[in-house]
Structure 1
Amino acid sequence: MKKVLFSLILMLASVQLFAQDNSIEMADRLRENGKIYVVVICVTIILIGLLLYLFSLDRRLKKIEKEKSI
């Protein structure tokens, strides 16, 4: 069963590789217009926000765990 699942995953990954030709044109157009930098900045801001949220959540959980253990 594992071999069948692994083979299916590999076949799906190879199909995904053929679909990348269309996305290159879009990336080229974004790069030509200078809009790719806006996309990169937006993704970076979102990732930084998620990381800050996770770190603050971790600190709160550690504080609650310390209070429970006392």
Structure 2
Amino acid sequence: MKKVLATIVLLTLNLLLISFSAAAQTEQAEMADAMRSNGKIYVVVVVCLIILFGLIGYVFRIDRKLSKLEKQQKD
């Protein structure tokens, strides 16, 4: 029952995100155009990628530590 509920929640969130992205595409991105013309958009992209990779690395590090603790607890 929990799996079904989790699937329904995830499906609902995905549909909401799709509808938000579709609505956001109809507006003009004047700030993005200005940043792109100045070359600053690349700085924004690099900073976002650094944050994303940092979060992914953090999650993997926490996962390894948890696995190690679980293994120690079993022994």
TM-score, structure 1 normalization: 0.70
> Which runs of no fewer than 5 residues in structure 1 stay unpaired?
1-5
Structure of higher CA gyration radius: 1
Among 27, 34, 38, the alignment partner of 1:29 is: 34
Instruction: Please give the alpha-carbon distance, in whole angstroms, between the structure 1 residues aligned to 2:68 and 2:61.
Output: 11
Among 44, 62, 68, the alignment partner of 1:57 is: 62
Cα 1:68–1:41 shift into 2, 3 Å: same
Runs in 1 of length 4+ with deviation above 3 angstroms? none
Aligned residues: 59
* Bigger helix fraction: 1
1:3-22 paired onto structure 2 within 5 Å: 13=19, 17=23, 20-22=26-28
RMSD of aligned residue pairs (Cα, Å): 2.4
1:19 deviation in Å?
A: 7.4
| Percent of paired sites with the same residue | 46
TM-score, structure 2 normalization: 0.66
